[in-house]
Amino acid sequence: MTTTALPAAHAANKTAFAVIFAVAACHLINDIMQSLLSAIYPILKDSYGLDFVQIGLLTFTFQVTASLLQPVIGIYTDKRPLPYSIAAGMGSTLVGLIVLGYAQDYWLLLLGSALIGFGSAVFHPESSRVARLASGGRHGFAQSTFQLGGNVGSAVGPLLAAFIVLPRGQSSVAWFAVAALIGMVILTFVGRWYAEHRRQAAKRPPVSTALPFDKRTTLIALIVLTLLTFTKNIYMAAISSYYTFYLIDKFAVDVQTSQLLLFLFLGASAVGVFLGGPIGDRWGAKFVIWFSILGVLPFTLALPYADYTWTIVLSIVIGIIFSSAFSAIVVFAQELMPGRVGMIAGIFFGFAFGSGGIAAAALGLLADVRGIDFVFVVTSYLPLLGLLTILLPNMNTRHVRT
């Protein structure tokens, strides 16, 4: 390497870190916006006289556009990258917030939900691709930092909704369009970096997209990763949706205390998401998956039988360990399918969101029938599926197949 190349490489690394943090910050904004829809459900129900079927249709509209469109968009952008699409996606979210804030008819509420969902569907695949391109080979760090932004947004969103939206009413949702506008500006600069990166990459030999393993091994590995993601999301949905009710029912805490303890769990999950990436870069994604999914089992099994203090401690430990898996799963899947970063991100981010919503509804039915304690007992055994990790191939033995 020549001496003139060193400053350029150093500058590139600095720029790459700026890009990673930029998409992580916009992931935070995106997930805060998502949380606002469910936050205004009580307001909409009273103002419009909605029944639970209509409330459910709002959620369905959002989840269909946010979850099911992600793989489609990811597959398309794998073939035809669109550097400025992420800014456009945030623009869709901005318009959706304004529509929700000032809607006077139910069909406009559906439209606002769809626009926010579409913005999320566009954002995730391309932003995940940008994080990987900017990683400089530290794929775990990049994905975990990107995902950290989303986790923090999911944790902070309900707090902002409680202190701003609920006291001030439906129209205050539109105020958050300012945050979406800031996100658009940031993502425009990210898109410019992305376009320049593509121009520079066009001057180099194309990266091979051949599978590192045979099709059967790859298919089995993807199925296993999908099942592990499903396992994680069912358990996390149980905690996120019903932990407050569990604490109130079992330990007679007040609502405010239960919300604070839920926030501690979500904060611990955010820490776990971030830690999983660098650990995966050091010891491999498969190690993190083993440790996260199966390693959390003793703590999930103990939680339903713990007293109040140990419940708090165990929930924090579970949040840190279990959440560390997701970035490792995404990185592992991206390495299994070179050149399909958008498709993988679309499937796993979309699947993560969709399966969590479906699981929350199913667990709610189970809680109505058998009680909230039973839900926590049943879900405590889910990490046993971590044993499926043994079916994942060893990335150190991969070879390019033609």
In 3D, which of 310, 300, 323 has the Cα closest to residue 378?
300
Residue finishing a domain among 167, 188, 206: 206
Do 136 and 182 lie in a common domain? yes
Do 199 and 324 lie in a common domain? no
Whole-model pTM above 0.85?
Answer: no
Residue finishing a domain among 206, 233, 249: 206
Do 105 and 224 lie in a common domain? no
Q: Is residue 338 part of a domain?
A: yes
Q: Is residue 136 part of a domain?
A: yes
Q: What is the mean pLDDT of residues 25-52?
A: 80
- pLDDT at residue 398, as a whole number: 54
Do 218 and 181 lie in a common domain? no
- pLDDT at residue 208, as a whole number: 61
Task: Give the residue numbers spanning the domain of 23.
Answer: 10-206
Do 160 and 258 lie in a common domain? no
Say which CATH number the domain at 189 has. 1.20.1250.20
- Assess whether pLDDT exceeds 90 at residue 243: no
Contact criterion met (CB below 8 Å) for 331 and 238? no
- Assess whether pLDDT exceeds 70 at residue 155: yes
Q: Is residue 192 part of a domain?
A: yes
Do 83 and 127 lie in a common domain? yes
Do 54 and 27 lie in a common domain? yes
Residue finishing a domain among 185, 206, 227: 206
Q: How far apart are CA 275 and CA 148, in angstroms?
A: 9
Contact criterion met (CB below 8 Å) for 303 and 311? yes
Q: Is residue 2 part of a domain?
A: no
Using one digit for the tens of pLDDT, what is the confidence trace for 264-275?
Answer: 888 888 888 888
Q: What is the mean pLDDT of residues 171-186?
A: 92
Do 294 and 160 lie in a common domain? no
Domain total for the chain?
Answer: 2
Three-state DSSP class for 233? Answer: helix
Q: Is residue 4 part of a domain?
A: no
- Assess whether pLDDT exceeds 60 at residue 11: no
Do 187 and 223 lie in a common domain? no
Do 235 and 213 lie in a common domain? yes
Q: Is residue 5 part of a domain?
A: no
Worst-scoring range by mean pLDDT, 71-75, 216-220, 295-299, 383-387? 71-75
- pLDDT at residue 68, as a whole number: 77
In 3D, which of 324, 228, 329, 309 has the Cα closest to residue 268?
324
Do 130 and 243 lie in a common domain? no
- Assess whether pLDDT exceeds 60 at residue 399: no
Report DSSP state, residue 207: P
In 3D, which of 160, 154, 348, 158 has the Cα closest to residue 269?
154
Q: Is residue 18 part of a domain?
A: yes
Do 258 and 233 lie in a common domain? yes
